[in-house]
Chains A and B, each alone.
Chain A
Amino acid sequence: MSTSDRGAPPARSPNPPRQSPPLLEIEELRVTFGRTAAVRGASFSLEKGETHCVVGESGCGKSVTALAVMGLLARGARREAARLEFAGQDLRALSERQLSALRGDRMAMIFQEPMTSLNPAYTVGSQMAEVFTRHRGGSRRAALDRAADLLARVGITAPGMRLGQFPHQLSGGLRQRVMIAMALMCDPELLIADEPTTALDVTVQAQILRLLAELQRDLGLGILLITHDLGIVARIADRVSVMYAGEVVESAPTAALFAAPSHPYTRGLLACVPVPGKVKREEALGSIPGMVPRIPPGFTGCAFRDRCDHAAPECAGAVPRQQAGAHEVLCRLPPGWAA
């Protein structure tokens, strides 16, 4: 729990890498906004060089989880956790100054709303350079060169011209790529990407995902990727956590999850998406009836029970978190029941 006995990572270098703390460790994270419990006991852990995907419908608490890690929750939010550590450092113990020294440097975030997270009053270039000089010092010239280099890598033509433009002069897709390049300015160790490719074409999306994979290989970047595109998840994730109404309802290595999806919600999500090459045009797509409910604090039982085909009376009581190897499911049914 305490940070002192963990020590700084370099002191630990003689130990085998397994011993070093995970890059990000979250246990029992809870976030409430007044009468809404947005995150209700979510746990994740992320190793260096790993990609962990978080999926779920709109309003499941994915963005709130990411913002809670970055310490960027809106005012009025209450955050509690049994553990919230970045590379062995307790994030809850850090002052606002220490946190902002970490943010944008060792841990970076790509926000879901590219428009609201770029400052309309400054050019793209000066915002990108500012991030670099604030954390790394050096000349503005060098920072701008790096910015131009990264813009080119995320597929922006004429990066020199784009650096001089204001955010409102860019299309949605360009803005999203600027956000991605900006998050990579300081070679972060942890990248939290909240729906980073929603505004992009499939061809550009493929290019950006390839870039992230490359950085991960070269620099050991750990990526927490929030998305609702199950195709992206299947192709790049090492591990997947499915969130529903603020809880992680299923978590498993990617291959295991797609081979034996176990939570009825995960199965519902997978049935909803038409799979290219395997569509049956005359058949209806599977769908999950109803909507994500708004959960008040103090709610018990499975939050999915009103929409679930397998709900039983016991689902209204405490539901067990069942485990089979690395596959975890929060349901009365055990992992792999459907296989």
Chain B
Amino acid sequence: MTPAIEVRGLCRSFRQRGGLLGQDRTVVAVDDVSFTLAGGGVLGVVGESGCGKSTLARIILGLLPPTAGEVLVEGRRLAAMDRRARARLIQPVFQDPFASLNPRRRIRDIVAMPLVAQGDIPARQVADRAAEMLARVGLSAEQAERYPAQLSGGQRQRVAIARALVLRPRIVICDEPTSALDVSVQAQILNLLAELRRELNLTYLFISHNLAVVEHVATEVAVMYLGRIVERATADALFRAPQHPYTKALLASVLTPEPGLGVPDVGLGETLPDPANIPPACRFHPRCPVAEPRCATTTPHAIMTAGGAAECLLLEGAGKP
């Protein structure tokens, strides 16, 4: 069976102007990322701020051309599709519900927009399908007449979800869809996304820095560090037995609501990485609590683990103590 999404060797870098005196810098946001995701699955993408999660999402959506590599959606090359065909396959839900809705359009027009853009759907049907979708995400006909500013954050995110699903796409790219919301509203939105996935057999790429949320929604998880996927595994395996030292540190920093445990020291040091100046060999070695001398000289390769793969030298040379 062809996977819903297949990504091969994606790279993307940005040039940053260095101001008057400084020289230009090249920021490597995504560095040789490959993965496949089967239809109906949820791939959670986690990692620190600036590690390239949103850049990856924007490339897969076709909003940003990659510097190298290609994206295949249901076996077809994304770059070869026209925008309308792509819209029928893959749709986004963004983080900030205040920035993702045009403040000058009514809710019903926002949700109808993808249908109208197709150009060949009769107006009657456009209105019906938009209304049906709005009802499905829990918004009333009266709310459909309003403008985004007249809705709460949670309601706006429902509108964004309705807009993404009105064309019945196969894949939805969710870039931190609940980070701007209250915990109670977050729960409502996560439940809605889960229901819709089951009902419509959707595939999600779900970006979040909240590991508990990812654990709740994802079937598979990719951990990104400085533009690379350093570990990828099924959600069960990853959360039960993380393999990469960075994944371990990330999981250890999660503060579960269990009193009395205190705040752990995960031993990552205090220096955050600079994406314009990626360390050689294993890019994690300056911060890695278990790094060995060879980590600064040898580049690790992906090693199969119980539920997936991870890039760490300690997994390769298991023989060395």
Contacts and interface: CB of A to CB of B under 8 A. Distances in A.
A–B touching in complex (CB under 8 Å): yes
Interface of A: 57-58, 152, 155, 157, 171, 173, 200-207, 209-210, 213, 228-237, 254-255, 258, 268-277, 279, 281, 284-288, 291
Given A202-B209, A206-B264, A210-B265, A287 B188 contact: yes
Contact of B215 (A157, A234, A270, A276): A276
Given A272-B187, A279-B216, A287-B191, A201 B263 contact: no
A236 B263 contact: yes
A213 B264 CA distance: 12
B125 interface: no
Given A57-B182, A203-B250, A157 B188 contact: no
B255 A204 contact: no
Nearest to B258: A234
A285 B239 contact: no
Interface of B: 48-50, 152-154, 182-184, 186-188, 190-191, 194-195, 209, 211-213, 215-217, 235, 239, 249-251, 253-266, 268, 270-272
Contact of B191 (A233, A279, A285): A285
B209 A201 contact: yes
B256 A157 contact: no
8 contacts: A173-B49, A203-B250, A206-B265, A213-B262, A235-B262, A258-B257, A281-B235, A287-B184
Given A171-B50, A287-B191, 6 more contacts: A57-B184, A203-B253, A203-B266, A205-B255, A229-B255, A275-B257
A199 to B, nearest CB: 8
**Residue of B188, B211, B249, B250 with highest tally of chain A CB at under 10 A:** B188
Given A207-B270, A272-B184, A287-B191, A202 B216 contact: no
Nearest to B195: A284
A281 B183 CA distance: 17
A235 B216 CA distance: 21
Contact of A206 (B186, B216, B263, B271): B263
Nearest to A284: B191
A277 to B, nearest CB: 7
B272 A157 contact: yes
A258 B270 contact: no
A204 B272 contact: yes
Nearest to A291: B152
A234 B257 contact: yes
A276 B213 CA distance: 8
Contacts of A237: 259
Contacts of A272: 183-184, 186-187
A277 B253 contact: no
Instruction: Output the residue of A276, A281, A287, A291 with the most chain B CB within 10 A.
Output: A276
Nearest to B179: A198
A207 B256 CA distance: 16
A258 B190 CA distance: 24
B88 to A, nearest CB: 29
A274 B191 contact: no
A274 B264 contact: no
B255 A231 contact: yes
A214 B290 CA distance: 25
B255 A206 contact: yes
Contacts of A213: 262-263
Nearest to B184: A288
A281 B182 contact: no
A205 B264 CA distance: 11
